[in-house]
Structure 1
Amino acid sequence: HQGKIGVKFNVGTDDIAIEESNAIINDGKYHVVRFTRSGGNATLQVDSWPVIERYPA
């Protein structure tokens, strides 16, 4: 992922992926990563970057 964070999870029939493509996290600093999931819906946030939301198609 070249210094970026992503999550992949299975909802029974499909794998769902969510990635923060703007925040670089391999810079030697501590980061706060928040991941929530409810069924197939998911959110991912790194530090104070905007929350990324993912909903199944």
Structure 2
Amino acid sequence: HQGKIGVKFNVGTDDIAIEEVNAIINDGKYHVVRFTRSGGNATLQVDNWPVIERYPA
């Protein structure tokens, strides 16, 4: 993923993916990653970057 973080999870019939494309995490520093999921809905945040939200159709 070239220094980026993503999560893929299965909701029974589909794989759902969410990725933070702006934050680079392979810089040798510690990072805070927050992931939440409720059914097929998910949020992902790295450090203080904006929260990425995924609400599949």
Q: TM-score range by the shorter chain?
A: over 0.9
Percent identity among equivalent residues? Answer: 96
The normalised TM-score by structure 2 is 0.99
Shift of 1:13: 0.6
Structure 2, unaligned stretches of length 5 or more? none
Moved over 2 A (4+): none
Indicate the RMSD between aligned Cα atoms, in angstroms: 0.3
The normalised TM-score by structure 1 is 0.99
Structure 1, unaligned stretches of length 5 or more? none
Q: CA separation in 1, counterparts of 2:8 and 2:25?
A: 18
